[in-house]
Amino acid sequence: MADASHFFFSIVGAGVGAGVGAGEPAPAAEPVHTEPTPAVAPDADADSHAGPDHAVAVGHMDATHAADPGHAFHFDFDAVRAHHTMPYPAMEWFHHEPVIIFNLAGYAGKHVGVLSQDPAFAAADANVHVAWATKKAELYGTTPETLAKAMVVADSKDVLTFPQALSWFNNQTFIGTVALLLFSIILFIKRPKKGQVKPQGAVQHMLESVVLFIRDDVVRPNLKGPAAHHAHAHDDHHGHPAPVAASGHVLAASPYAYADRWVPHFSALFLGILAFNLVGLIPGGGSASGNPGVTLAFASTTLLAMLLYGFKEQGFVRFWINLVPVKWSWKPMDMLVWCLLFLIELMGLLIKPAALAIRLAANMFAGHTAVLAFAALGFIIFAGDQSQHVMSLGLGAVGWVIAVALYFLKLLVAFIQAYIFTLLSAIFIGASIHPEH
């Protein structure tokens, strides 16, 4: 329930526009003779002059607007989605209130219109970040001095700001990195002691179950290796002598000896993706596995293993010949068919890992978006027609029930997607090492 309430308030802070008056006009007051005061442009107008990216700020929570009962209710679902499912240069649970800024220039550039209206903007020292701002000002359609001062103001609002050398971080990669570091620390602390042969404690038993599952259901059925096809009493494929019993008799090589060498790789791959998937369920964070760049990096390791170990076990030339499931023939028509199949298989070699990356990223991104859409259903309806109070509350409650159900479904999907990625990687690598044709 704590996570659900945190998630609720993060949605409200990220997407709800100010103005609880639902667009109703303010009651008429007694005429008072006062001196005219200059009009102050709202933050949304300031954002509209700061480039297309700054339109996200329109309709967010603002203290000035919240105090105005005549201001219309706004809700920007794209802004909510940007905070929770897209790469974002900061971590903030409420809009314009950053907790950690990963890319100071990127964050200030997105919100330069709002930051320039801050009272501290006029006194900000542009020289602090002028070198960095000069490189990025044109990207955000502003001047280096304005961007540098906006960076100073943004830097004063958060708890931690990453240096320029680490500005490539975003909310997704940061959360994923923290997850991997915590997981690595747990593995280091709970590592087996010297001479220990049986697992001890809940963590070691859980890890043993995962590793045995990956070994028996993923690795051994798909990576048989040369030893499975050429097990005999002589030296094996890699020049290692066959095992010898105490009686002096030569023993046959284990059919799983080659496959078991891959167990650490695929166990680490499964646990790494699972860590990314699970930490992405934390409300207010970001899912690294929903970022195509991250999933493409995982898929690149599969492609690299397919090529390197395919070359090693089959030979460079034989690997490319074996891509085609038919034998070469010097007949003109057979040659044409063979060349056509070679092009198709070559594209398939690249499409397979690309499909891995797209499948994982699309499933995680779609799941997060679906949860957000149902959780924000009441706000979306009320923003569209502010007279539909009962419908907004009723459908909003139904939306939250569906969102909670989808949230637990995503918990299952997190495990399934990690398993599918690992299984298909094992199948692709195994097919490259020992083609069946």
Rounded average pLDDT over 178-191: 90
Q: Given this model, what pLDDT does residue 249 score? A: 46
Q: How far apart are CA 310 and CA 72, in angstroms?
A: 63
Residues forming beta bridges with residue 16, ordered by sequence position? 75
Dihedral through CA 97, CA 101, CA 103, CA 104, nearest 10? 70
- Give the model's confidence band at 306: pLDDT under 50 very low, under 70 low, under 90 confident, else very high: very high
Q: What DSSP string runs through 19-84?
A: -TTTTPPPPP--------------HHHHHHTS-GGGGGGTT---HHHHT-TTSPP-B-HHHHHHHH
Q: Return phi, psi of residue 16, to 5°.
A: -85, 130
Q: Which two tokens stand for residue 417?
A: 């997607």
Q: How far apart are CA 81 and CA 65, in angstroms?
A: 22
Q: How far apart are CA 282 and CA 192, in angstroms?
A: 30
> Which residue's entry shows tokens 């502010």?
386
Rounded average pLDDT over 335-354: 93
Q: Which two tokens stand for residue 312?
A: 């090693």
Q: Given this model, what pLDDT does residue 59 score? A: 38
CB 371 within 8 A of CB 314: no
Q: How many CA atoms lie within 13 A of 437 on its CB side?
A: 12
Q: Where are the beta strands (DSSP E) in 350-437?
A: none
pLDDT digits (tens, 9 = 90+) for 262-304: 999 999 999 999 999 998 888 766 788 988 999 999 999 999 9
**Which candidate, 88, 77, 67, places its Cα nearest to that of 169?**
88
In the predicted model, is pLDDT for residue 158 greater than 50? yes
CA 100 from chain centre, in angstroms, equals 18
Q: Given this model, what pLDDT does residue 39 score? A: 42
Sign of the CA dihedral 312, 317, 320, 323? negative
Q: How far apart are CA 218 and CA 275, in angstroms?
A: 19
Question: What's 244's DSSP letter?
Answer: B
pLDDT digits (tens, 9 = 90+) for 38-82: 444 434 333 333 443 433 333 344 433 444 444 566 777 777 777
Label residue 239 exposed, middle or buried (CB < 10 Å: 0-12, 13-18, 19+).
exposed
pLDDT digits (tens, 9 = 90+) for 16-47: 443 333 333 333 333 434 444 444 443 433 33
In the predicted model, is pLDDT for residue 316 greater than 80? yes
Rounded average pLDDT over 344-356: 94
